[in-house]
């Protein structure tokens, strides 16, 4: 498929179908705005998207979402893409108190392109995450690479326990009693042809040794075995060139805008 065809499938199968929303969250709409949030306002994971644009009253809609989540006292991320309407959506969000985080590349491709045998250093292997001990190792790795993000690993782990047919994790190790050198997750999007590659982290001392490429190949093979043809990644500047060298392609960029009630109250 061409990059344009892949992008069209992503927009149709994922965004318009609202398949990025957590199925355990409350899901509702305010006109063209799609909201997904845990019923407990203290929990993370609240999201907003607007793949159909914001119509004729974008400022009013943005303010309503701000007021809704400030009223709940709940942190929320508005996930924007470069092609979202209106063109000044980022400026409207900023004016309402949402704070832009790092821009990531939306990378798309066919799983069979990257499902190749990994070439790893001698004595190193990639395998499935199998239990709490593995989860603790990957959470420790994430906290070491990005302090304060270990909770993301446990959230994926909870998803894997609930739906092992859809969520799988993998890690790279030298020995089972040592630290995880790299770790990541595959989330298959039920009802679509897409598998998402998420949560990848590699210990700084092991970067540039093929570990991330091996995890991409491992997860691509899992996706194919489960009948999922396409892959999508929200890629950091570090992982984007690796993915493109493997044959995946950028379809757009995505920028999260975060509203944190604690920060707003403290300003």
pLDDT digits (tens, 9 = 90+) for 68-90: 999 999 999 999 999 999 999 99
**Confidence bin at 133 (pLDDT 50/70/90):** very high
Position 118 scores a pLDDT of 81
Q: Which structural domains are found in the chain, ordered by start?
A: 3-104+254-266 (3.40.630), 109-251 (3.40.630.30)
- Segment 37-61 shows an average pLDDT of 95
Name the β-bridge partners of 169.
185
Position 219 scores a pLDDT of 97
Residue 267 has pLDDT above 70, yes or no: no
Position 177 scores a pLDDT of 87
Q: Which helix (H) or strand (E) holds 216?
A: helix 211-225
- Segment 122-132 shows an average pLDDT of 94
- Segment 37-59 shows an average pLDDT of 95
Phi, psi (5° rounding) for residue 90?
A: -60, -40
pTM: 0.90
237, 222 Cβ separation under 8 angstroms: no
**Confidence bin at 99 (pLDDT 50/70/90):** very high
Position 266 scores a pLDDT of 42
pLDDT digits (tens, 9 = 90+) for 176-198: 889 999 999 999 999 999 999 99
pLDDT digits (tens, 9 = 90+) for 100-112: 999 999 999 999 9
Position 265 scores a pLDDT of 52
Residue 233 has pLDDT above 90, yes or no: yes
pLDDT digits (tens, 9 = 90+) for 14-42: 999 999 998 889 999 999 999 999 999 99
Q: Select the more confidently predicted residue: 199 or 172.
A: 172
- The alpha-helical segments, DSSP class H, found in 96-186 are 111-114, 132-145, 150-162
If you average pLDDT over every residue of the chain, what do you get? 94
Of residues 197, 134, 201, the one with CA closest to residue 161? 134
Position 151 scores a pLDDT of 87
Position 23 scores a pLDDT of 84
Give 224's DSSP letter.
H
What is the rounded distance in angstroms from the CA atom of residue 169 to the CA atom of residue 109?
20
Could you please report the per-residue DSSP string of 31-100?
A: TTEEEEE-SSTTSS-EEEE-TT--TT-HHHHHHHHHHHHHHHT--EEEEEETT-SSTTHHHHHHHTT-EE
């Amino acid at each position: 498929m061409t990059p344009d065809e892949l992008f069209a499938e992503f927009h149709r199968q994922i965004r318009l179908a609202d398949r990025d929303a957590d199925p355990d969250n409350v899901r509702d709409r305010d006109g063209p705005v799609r909201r997904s949030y845990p019923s407990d306002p203290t929990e993370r994971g609240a999201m907003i998207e607007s793949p159909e644009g914001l119509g004729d009253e974008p400022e009013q809609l943005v303010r309503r979402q701000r007021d809704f989540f400030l009223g709940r006292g709940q942190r929320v991320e508005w996930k924007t893409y470069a092609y979202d309407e209106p063109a000044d959506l980022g400026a409207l969000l900023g004016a309402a108190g949402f704070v832009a985080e790092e821009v990531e590349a939306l990378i798309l491709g066919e799983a069979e392109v990257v499902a190749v045998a990994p070439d790893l250093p001698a004595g190193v292997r990639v395998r499935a995450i199998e239990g709490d001990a593995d989860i603790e190792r990957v959470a420790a790795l994430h906290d070491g690479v990005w302090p304060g993000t270990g909770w993301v690993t446990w959230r994926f782990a909870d998803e894997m326990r609930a739906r092992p047919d859809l969520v799988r994790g993998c890690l790279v190790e030298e020995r089972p009693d040592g630290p995880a050198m790299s770790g990541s997750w595959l989330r298959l999007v039920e009802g679509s042809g897409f598998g998402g590659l998420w949560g990848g982290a590699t210990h700084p001392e092991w970067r540039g040794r093929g570990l991330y490429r091996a995890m991409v190949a491992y997860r691509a093979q899992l996706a194919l075995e489960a009948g999922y043809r396409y892959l999508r990644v929200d890629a950091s500047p570090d992982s984007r060139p690796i993915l493109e060298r493997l044959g995946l392609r950028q379809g757009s960029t995505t920028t999260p805008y975060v509203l944190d009630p604690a920060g707003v109250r403290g300003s």
